[in-house]
Amino acid sequence: MKDNVAQIILGLTKSFKTMQMYGMNHSSFRHFFEPFYQKTAEHLRDHNEISFKVEKFQMVHDDQVVYKEEEMDMSIAFRLFKDGIRNISFMSGLTSDELLLFVDVISRPAKDWDVALGLWECNFTHITFYVIEAEEVPDYRVPDVPIQYVDYDEKLKQLILREKIDIDAVIIPDLDLDEVEDLKKCISIEEKIAILPVVIKTLGDYLLTDRSEEIIDGLIEILESCVNMKDFYNARRIAYKLKDIPKINFIERFENETTIASFRETLNVPEDEVFNEFLAFLGFFGEKSIPFLMELMPFIERTDRLNALRHRVAHIAEDNPSPIASFLHSKEPGTVLNAINILGLIKPADIAKMLDPLVIHPNREVRLAVIEALGNAGQIDIVIKYINDPDVEARIRSLRILSKFKRPEIYPVLLERIKHGSFLRLDFAEQREIFSVLTANAGDDFVETMQGILFKRKWFGKKKYRVMRRLAALALNQIGTDESIAVLKNGMQKRNKDIKFACETVLKERSS
Amino acid sequence: MNIYIAGKTVVGLLYPLFKAVQVYDVNNNVVINTAQKFISGIEELLSTFSSLEFVRYRDYVFFNKQRLKYEIDSYANLQFMNTQLQMLNIKSITFKRGITQEEVIDFASIFKEDRITFQRKLAEKKFQHIDIEILKSDKEPDEPIENGQMAKRTYFKALKVTKNLMQNLWTGRPVDVKSSRRVIYGLVDSISRDEFGILALTTIKNFDEYTFNHSLNVGILSLALGQRIGLDRKNLARLGTSGILHDIGKVEISKELINKIQKLTNDEWETLKLHSNYGVREILKTRGLDETSMFAITVAYQHHWNYDGTGYPLREKEDEPTLFSRIVRICDSYDAMTTARGYQPVPYLPHFALRVIWSNQNRLFDPILAKVFTQLLGIYPVGSCLELSSGEIGVVMRQNPSTIDLPNIKIVVDSSSNKIDGRMIDLAAHTEIKIIRPTYPQIYGINPAAYFL
């Protein structure tokens, strides 16, 4: 036993010294600490507890001095003693982490460091210690009580009258099982739920009656800590309470690159609720944050979340979209795409001007985004340019958009397109979209022209004409006037199988 | 498993075993099954601990040197064990590795005997793996001086720190937060070592320095109640801080108003009520926003919220006071009622104050906490003066956890009304002495606090 204790003390001394010199991650510390823990745990398995009485410069175990060091800075005993620790015990079940923390706490630089407080705040389970306050009990004398007659019965009467109590009620303070369970539940709620929401509510309620500087600062401090902890639920609640207080820009402190970059970890969290709280909190951000939020976007993995963030940024940039426009010149196509998309949501009046330089952008996705954005904004002057884009998808999308608008001047342009031999080389989908746009912008001769295509094999050779008849029939159906329907019905009577089939098919679709 | 949980586990295994042998024959299956359960439970613990030792000291039971606290979920088990140990005059019981079923049943069966038979049978049995030590005399060993001394040192240090804190706030000087943190942990330690020791010091009431004493007393009472319901140390530290700081908002209210003896006008009353709001501001000013201060802020704001939704500051319907606020609400009321102040020169007797709390459960106070508070303080709380059937007057020195209406008292006035430094009596052990009624210490010129210093 004696040897064991000596080895434990030796382990403690060496761990203490190496911790002071090198810190807990250094191999020298580990070299001494690990055997120290092993020895202590081994001892505790057999003895349950090892306890040391702490004196000024020495520690005593079983009435024997097992440690002595009179050099104040180097003395473990003195460090403990000076802060009032008079006994220290390690109990069976001691973990390596607890012992490590213990060595850490007692090794910290002594100036202003209260070892007892440090140990208390560790909440050890298997290390106990006994602290005394250094000060002696003052020579306190309770005040003398002069003899004074008090009429017990009268007092009792007053008490019953004032407090309306039944003085003879039987008191049985035993709790039944349900009450014990209730109480346990309360305790577990108190221990587990964050106090934060309650404090936010308290400070918020206080603000309703008094906009005291301390309260505002307190809320801002909590806000900062919420943002640091990525607790956007509470951050949003605080921001909501602060938003109407004049002359306070509580959000400015977060509108910087470092803070916003730190939000990256929230972008792909599994819980949608967390992400949505984050988005809601961003609602309080201003223009300054836009560049940093734009930089966040490439890190989002889910498209729906990217779109949601774009919406949020669009909301922020609503009044002044120019910070977004500056990203149109980015070399990163992803960033350009985000900027186009956001502008499409904001729909600024000069969006066409902003996006015009991108019409011939080499990146197909960018061109598609421009079409979408302009389409959303109803700015189709540029969209028209895309009907000759080298990419089929771009052409189709632009046509789809154009089909929603009335621009009669494109009717002759498209008509010429149809007449051109190259039209037959296009995909059916594109051909169909061109006919749709044509229908949408139909001129006076539309039905007549379509009838010509349907019945008379205008413009092209016999072989390709089945497709053209089908497209014309679709267009006639789409425009849906009495005249056009009459043409289709007439077509159904034709002997030509292609005409008959094209007309029958669209009319059947129509009736269904 | 930590020692504390292990201790509670063993007590939890012993209780049904003792109960079983009281009802059934030792060969009955119920007894055998309970004994088996006990053995398998303690064998597991004995793989971690070399032995399992229970020691009874004063009214406390210690397990492997750690005091087992009276908590709501283990109250009945521990109370039973404590009573049995006391009744049989046992100082300690130690279970060792290798214990057998036969030994366990033998051991439990002699426990139901009276003291004399128990000791005779114990001498006959000679257990191999159970050591039972009998107290040499009925008198328990004296309390080590440092325990009582410790409580006093902690109390007065805490009082000094509380006073400094408030005075510094009053005068706008910086506050020493580190000292307050240290003091709180000292109080938590003191409470977990011996709650009755430090609870007794809450009888110190100072008319001139009411706010300081009251704040500290509320902190201590809250800690004791918090410990009784089973809060861990971390939460006790938060609760203690919240208790001490609950009235800190009063530093923003004029002393004249606080100490006013005459009835307050409506305006004055409205001003005084603002101390709950001001408390929030003062705590923020003093401590900033660490986790503990968040609890303290909440308590300072809510400590006048009643259980039924009334109280101040005004609140929304769905706002409920937190557990800590409900604890402080009770302790604050109790200490205020039992302290003399300008408008209340003769305070309520502790017994009456407790009755007021009991009668107002569900309305002003959380009913479950009101019950636990009554369990904690007993029917006649520490510091109460009692008229006895012997014609003497006694001051309640500490509770008997097992019999809350029969405390330990000290005789301070003899039957001829002379003040004396009389004997200590455990009323649970001396049933021939009856309590007639609580009485006012002023009648005898007694300050009960004097007996705890």
The verdict on B272 and B167 lying in the same domain is: yes
The verdict on A351 and A340 lying in the same domain is: yes
The verdict on A373 and A409 lying in the same domain is: no
Establish if A291 belongs to a structural domain.
no
How many distinct structural domains can be found in chain B?
3
Please tell me the distance in Å from A105's CA to the nearest CA on chain B: 15
Handedness of CA B266, B270, B271, B272 (dihedral sign): positive
Q: How far apart are CA B444 and CA B386, in angstroms?
A: 12
DSSP track, B357-389: HHHTBTTTB-HHHHHHHHHHH-SS-TT-EEEET
Closest residue on chain B to A185 (Cα): B323
Q: How far apart are CA B2 and CA B93, in angstroms?
A: 19
Candidate from B232, B280, B298 with C-beta closest to A215: B280
Establish if B24 belongs to a structural domain.
yes
Query: Is residue B434 within 8 angstroms of chain A, CB to CB?
Result: no
The verdict on B65 and B173 lying in the same domain is: no
The verdict on B316 and B420 lying in the same domain is: no
Give pLDDT tens digits for B172-230: 777 777 788 888 999 998 898 888 888 989 998 876 778 889 999 999 999 999 999 98
Q: In what order do the strands lie in the sheet with B51-57?
A: B66-68, B60-63, B51-57, B90-96, B130-134
Closest residue on chain A to B239 (Cα): A190
A206 vs B301: CB contact, 8 Å cut-off? yes
Name the region of B362 (left: φ>0; alpha: ψ -120 to 50; beta: rest): left
As a whole number, mean pLDDT of residues B72-89 equals 80
The verdict on B79 and B168 lying in the same domain is: no
Collect all residues of chain A within an 8 Å Cβ-Cβ radius of residue B234: 123
- H or E stretch including A305? helix A303-316
Q: What is the CA radius of gyration of chain A?
A: 41
Please tell me the distance in Å from B369's CA to the nearest CA on chain A: 8
A142 vs B51: CB contact, 8 Å cut-off? no
Establish if A159 belongs to a structural domain.
no
The residue behind tokens 């007993």 is B378
Establish if B92 belongs to a structural domain.
yes
Establish if A372 belongs to a structural domain.
yes
DSSP track, B389-451: TTS-EEEEEE--TT-TTS-EEEEEE-TTS-B----EEETTT-TTS-EEEEE-GGGGT--GGGG
Please tell me the distance in Å from A404's CA to the nearest CA on chain B: 52
Q: How far apart are CA B57 and CA B197, in angstroms?
A: 14
Q: How far apart are CA A144 and CA B446, in angstroms?
A: 8
The verdict on B179 and B314 lying in the same domain is: yes
Q: How far apart are CA A305 and CA A263, in angstroms?
A: 14
Candidate from A123, A137, A199 with C-beta closest to B234: A123
The verdict on B365 and B288 lying in the same domain is: yes
Domain limit, last residue, from A131, A149, A181: A131
Say which range, A181-195, B407-421, B426-440, has the weakest mean pLDDT.
A181-195
The identity of residue A240, as a single letter, is: Y
A–B interface: beta-carbon pairs under 8 A: 213
Residue A67: strand, helix, or coil: strand
Most B CBs within 10 Å, among A162, A198, A220, to test the B interface: A198
Candidate from A135, A171, A198 with C-beta closest to B374: A171
Collect all residues of chain B within an 8 Å Cβ-Cβ radius of residue A212: 281
User: Of B150, B128, B287, B234, whose CA–CA distance to A199 is shortest?
Assistant: B287
Establish if A222 belongs to a structural domain.
no
- Domain hosting A114: range is 2-131
Q: How far apart are CA B94 and CA B263, in angstroms?
A: 62
| CB burial of residue B316 (10 Å; 0-12, 13-18, 19+) | exposed
The pLDDT value recorded for residue B145 is 42
The pLDDT value recorded for residue A440 is 87
The pLDDT value recorded for residue B299 is 95
A180 vs B302: CB contact, 8 Å cut-off? no
Written as six digits, the tokens of A335 are: 């960033």
Tell me if the bond preceding B313 is cis, omega within 30° of 0. Answer: yes
Establish if B295 belongs to a structural domain.
yes
The identity of residue A274, as a single letter, is: V
The residue behind tokens 């190259």 is A422
B319 vs A123: CB contact, 8 Å cut-off? no
Collect all residues of chain A within an 8 Å Cβ-Cβ radius of residue B227: none
Establish if B154 belongs to a structural domain.
no
The pLDDT value recorded for residue B144 is 42
Q: How far apart are CA B246 and CA A4, in angstroms?
A: 50
Report yes or no: B283 and B260 within 8 Å, Cβ to Cβ: no
The verdict on B122 and B167 lying in the same domain is: no
Written as six digits, the tokens of A362 are: 């080499």
Give pLDDT tens digits for B87-139: 888 888 999 888 888 888 988 888 888 888 888 888 888 888 888 888 765 55
Handedness of CA A433, A436, A440, A441 (dihedral sign): positive
Q: How far apart are CA B418 and CA A153, in angstroms?
A: 23
The verdict on B248 and B324 lying in the same domain is: yes
Burial A17-26 (b: 16+ CB within 10 A, else e): bbbbeeeeee
Residue A71: strand, helix, or coil: coil
Interface of A with B in 307-336 (CB under 8 A): none
Give pLDDT tens digits for B10-67: 888 888 888 888 888 888 888 899 999 999 988 888 888 888 888 887 677 888 877 7
Phi and psi (nearest 5°) for B91? -90, -45
User: Of B409, B416, B402, whose CA–CA distance to B384 is shortest?
Assistant: B409
Domain limit, last residue, from B361, B377, B393: B377
Most B CBs within 10 Å, among A92, A113, A129, A192, to test the B interface: A92
The verdict on A395 and A409 lying in the same domain is: no
B153 vs A136: CB contact, 8 Å cut-off? yes
Residue B89: strand, helix, or coil: coil
Collect all residues of chain A within an 8 Å Cβ-Cβ radius of residue B152: 137
The verdict on B216 and B339 lying in the same domain is: yes
Give pLDDT tens digits for B313-350: 988 888 899 999 999 999 999 999 999 887 788 889 99
Written as six digits, the tokens of A154 are: 């009268």
Residue A250: strand, helix, or coil: coil
The verdict on A363 and A446 lying in the same domain is: no
Domain limit, last residue, from A131, A153, A181: A131
The pLDDT value recorded for residue B192 is 86
Query: Is residue B5 within 8 angstroms of chain A, CB to CB?
Result: no
Report yes or no: A127 and A115 within 8 Å, Cβ to Cβ: no
Q: How far apart are CA A456 and CA A472, in angstroms?
A: 11
The verdict on A321 and A349 lying in the same domain is: yes
Closest residue on chain A to B301 (Cα): A202
How many distinct structural domains can be found in chain A?
3
Query: Is residue A42 within 8 angstroms of chain B, CB to CB?
Result: no
Candidate from A146, A150, A179 with C-beta closest to B368: A179
Domain limit, last residue, from A112, A131, A150: A131
B297 vs A203: CB contact, 8 Å cut-off? yes
A420 CB-near residues (< 8 Å, 6+ apart): none
Establish if A213 belongs to a structural domain.
no
B305 CB-near residues (< 8 Å, 6+ apart): B311, B312, B315, B319, B321, B325, B329
Query: Is residue A208 within 8 angstroms of chain B, CB to CB?
Result: no
Q: How far apart are CA A240 and CA A315, in angstroms?
A: 17
Collect all residues of chain A within an 8 Å Cβ-Cβ radius of residue B237: 120
The verdict on A340 and A458 lying in the same domain is: no
How do the pLDDT tens digits run along chain A, 512 residues long? Answer: 567 889 999 999 999 999 988 888 888 899 999 999 999 999 988 888 899 999 989 999 988 999 999 888 889 999 999 888 999 999 888 999 999 999 999 998 877 788 999 999 888 888 989 888 766 666 677 777 778 787 888 888 888 888 888 888 888 888 888 888 888 888 887 766 668 888 898 888 888 888 888 888 889 988 988 898 889 999 999 999 898 887 788 898 899 999 999 999 999 999 999 999 999 999 999 999 999 999 999 999 999 999 999 999 999 999 999 999 999 989 888 999 999 999 999 999 889 889 988 888 888 999 999 998 988 888 888 888 888 888 888 988 888 888 888 888 888 888 888 888 788 888 888 888 888 888 888 888 889 888 888 887 666 666 667 888 889 999 999 888 899 999 999 998 888 888 899 999 999 988 87
Query: What is the crossing angle of helices B210-228 and B233-245, to 10°?
Result: 150
The verdict on B170 and B256 lying in the same domain is: yes
The residue behind tokens 């720190």 is B161
Query: Is residue A168 within 8 angstroms of chain B, CB to CB?
Result: no
pLDDT bucket at B261, cuts 50 / 70 / 90: confident
Query: Is residue B305 within 8 angstroms of chain A, CB to CB?
Result: no
Using the predicted structure, report yes or no on whether residue B143 has a pLDDT greater than 50: no
Give pLDDT tens digits for B350-390: 999 999 999 999 999 999 999 999 999 999 999 999 999 99
Closest residue on chain A to B209 (Cα): A143
Q: How far apart are CA B230 and CA B73, in angstroms?
A: 8
The pLDDT value recorded for residue B383 is 92
The pLDDT value recorded for residue B388 is 96
The verdict on A8 and A126 lying in the same domain is: yes
Query: Is residue A151 within 8 angstroms of chain B, CB to CB?
Result: no
Domain limit, last residue, from B377, B404, B421: B377
Establish if A188 belongs to a structural domain.
no
Query: Is residue B172 within 8 angstroms of chain A, CB to CB?
Result: no
Domain limit, last residue, from B134, B169, B185: B134
Closest residue on chain A to B46 (Cα): A45
Collect all residues of chain A within an 8 Å Cβ-Cβ radius of residue B443: 147-150
Q: What is the CATH number of the domain that holds B333?
A: 1.10.3210.10
Collect all residues of chain A within an 8 Å Cβ-Cβ radius of residue B295: 195
ipTM of this model? 0.72
Candidate from A117, A142, A222 with C-beta closest to B178: A117
The verdict on A411 and A511 lying in the same domain is: yes
Name the region of B98 (left: φ>0; alpha: ψ -120 to 50; beta: rest): left
Q: How far apart are CA A51 and CA B392, in angstroms?
A: 46
The verdict on B178 and B285 lying in the same domain is: yes
Collect all residues of chain B within an 8 Å Cβ-Cβ radius of residue A180: 72-73
Q: How far apart are CA A432 and CA A470, in angstroms?
A: 9
3-state helix, strand, coil in chain B (%, to 5): 55, 15, 35
Query: Is residue A193 within 8 angstroms of chain B, CB to CB?
Result: no
B298 vs A202: CB contact, 8 Å cut-off? yes
The identity of residue A391, as a single letter, is: D
Residue A329 exposure: Cα atoms within 13 Å on the Cβ side: 5
A49 vs B64: CB contact, 8 Å cut-off? yes
The verdict on B294 and B433 lying in the same domain is: no
Q: What is the CATH number of the domain that holds A388?
A: 1.25.10
A5 CB-near residues (< 8 Å, 6+ apart): A43, A50, A61, A62, A66
- Domain hosting B249: range is 160-377
Q: How far apart are CA A450 and CA A453, in angstroms?
A: 5
| CB burial of residue A129 (10 Å; 0-12, 13-18, 19+) | buried
Query: Is residue A268 within 8 angstroms of chain B, CB to CB?
Result: no
Question: How far is CA B309 from each of CA B305, B317, B326, B362, B372, rounded to the nearest angstrom?
Answer: 7, 7, 12, 10, 21
Collect all residues of chain B within an 8 Å Cβ-Cβ radius of residue A45: 48, 50
Establish if A76 belongs to a structural domain.
yes
Closest residue on chain B to A217 (Cα): B284
